[in-house]
Structure 1
Amino acid sequence: MTARRTRDNRAVALVLTAALGTGAWMLYDGSQTRHPPQPSPSDAFAAAPAQSGGQIPGTPSTAPPAPPLPASVPVRIKIPSIKVDAPVTLLNLDKTGQLQVPDDNNRNLAGWYQGGPAPGAAGNAIMDGHVDTEQGPAVFYNLGSLHKGNTVEVDRKDGTAALFSIDAIEVYEKNAFPSSRVYGATKDAQLRLITCGGGYSKDTGYLGNVVLYAHLTGSKHV
């Protein structure tokens, strides 16, 4: 990775940390189905991952990491274990500095923060999706039921699919969201998927976020 790319990656992490804050209110929570699966403790990090030189190693699954791919815009995300097959929309920060969210009129839609690394490219790609909407369960409703080693596939505009292996899935309360761990810069190609979770209160909505951590293991033509 070049020095410039490293600086850009870290700058993106700072922007996201400032823009998203605790992350707890990033996604809409208006449906009547407020009991999405929550991550199993066995699929969380065994211990808090140490940070070294901006790297967030996590707890790698059995699949070895692959070299980063050239950057390309994501167009679709597939998670076979939970039957997710959804188009990807591009997200920016809004006028208040908050990360935009996918249109809640489309339950089967994920979003990618295009101010950061593309999925499969060097760095930490950030994607989010609704857990539910007023119409019912949405694209990432079952994110918490995934396990270490499950596969996430992100189809890209250049005709390749970036293949990721899940390292951990964790749930965080809104006042304990580890921004540096979730959004921090990485030297290799990693992916974060984020949705609401952590219980539900009628007065305040969802109490936290579910975060999936994964690393690039390969690619294929689609």
Structure 2
Amino acid sequence: MRRIGNSAIATVTVVALCSGVWLLRSAGSEQPPPQPAAAEGRPDPGEERLSAPALPPSPPTRIRIPSIRVNAPLMGLGLTPSGSLDVPPSREKNLAGWYEAGTTPGESGTAIVAGHVDNTEGPAVFYDLGALRKGSIIEVDRRDGGVAVFTVDAIEVYQATNFPDKKVYGAARRPELRVITCGGGYSRSTGYQGNVVVFAHLTGSR
């Protein structure tokens, strides 16, 4: 597997996640997914908490976020011809993906996981991602049989026109994880306006 790092991901990262077809078809009768509160925003980098020792590289197979009832298999994602991160098939609403040319969850660096907020049938795997809180636990099963345990540092929402690529995808010395879906408000003409991003770091393994 060729490792090319997160710098290869372009600004238009997860636009394909964000059409919001379900809300459009529901004619306004359904509520948009929860959005993170301002109090859950990213802490100052100087306040970063200690992390667990980094794990050796191993592809992830499943992600679990107990507080929002996520338990989903992971598939590998590449880049589209335009340079954006590809996405899981929209018909598979309980499927997430990870950027397989970058860092694997648990090793030193920034690992990227993305998934749909909804599909034509209704809420999808990361519909409740914006409801997470600091201190929530994320578990990632790995192909080597281990489990990487992450603690959420912050949950933020960004407009698509002002997405902070370096902040989200930039290199990290410790093992970190980003989990991304759509958010930032919803327009019936253009779909979701941005992305919800969860920032987490490795705090254990088993």
**TM-score, L = length of structure 1:** 0.84
Shift of 1:59: 4.9
> Aligned pair in 2 of structure 1 residues 110, 59: CA closer, same or farther (>3 Å)?
farther
Shift of 1:97: 2.2
2:205 is the alignment partner of 1:219: yes
* 8 Å CA contact retained: 1:24, 1:173: no
Q: What residue in structure 1 maps to residue 21 of structure 2?
A: 30
5 Å-filtered alignment, 1:188-199, equals: 188-199=174-185
> Aligned pair in 2 of structure 1 residues 196, 101: CA closer, same or farther (>3 Å)?
same
Structure 1 runs (4+) greater than 6 angstroms displaced: none
The total of aligned residue pairs comes to: 198
Give the letter for the 1:44 counterpart.
Answer: G
Give the letter for the 1:31 counterpart.
Answer: W
Q: What residue in structure 2 maps to residue 52 of structure 1?
A: none
5 Å-filtered alignment, 1:64-75, equals: 64-75=50-61
Q: CA RMSD in A?
A: 1.8
Q: In 1, distance between residues paired with 2:172 and 2:73?
A: 25
Q: In 2, distance between residues paired with 1:41 and 1:58?
A: 19
Q: What residue in structure 2 maps to residue 88 of structure 1?
A: 74
Give unmatched runs, 5+ long, in structure 2.
24-29
> Larger deviation: 118-127 or 90-99?
90-99
**Structure 2 SS opposite 1:36:** coil
* 8 Å CA contact retained: 1:197, 1:207: yes
Seq. identity, %: 50
* 8 Å CA contact retained: 2:14, 2:85: no
2:8 to 15, 19, 40: 15
2:38 is the alignment partner of 1:41: yes
Q: In 2, distance between residues paired with 1:207 and 1:59?
A: 30
5 Å-filtered alignment, 1:160-199, equals: 160-199=146-185
Give the letter for the 2:7 counterpart.
Answer: L
> Larger deviation: 94-103 or 117-126?
94-103
* 8 Å CA contact retained: 1:22, 1:176: no
Give unmatched runs, 5+ long, in structure 1.
1-7, 50-56
**Structure 2 SS opposite 1:71:** coil
Q: In 2, distance between residues paired with 1:22 and 1:93?
A: 11
Shift of 1:12: 1.7
Give the letter for the 2:86 counterpart.
Answer: Q
Give the letter for the 1:25 counterpart.
Answer: V
Q: In 1, distance between residues paired with 2:153 and 2:16?
A: 23
Shift of 1:22: 4.4
5 Å-filtered alignment, 1:48-67, equals: 49=44, 57=45, 59-60=47-48, 64-67=50-53
1:164-220, CA deviations, whole angstroms, 9 ceiling, x for partnerless residues? 000000000111111100000111100000000011001111001000000000101
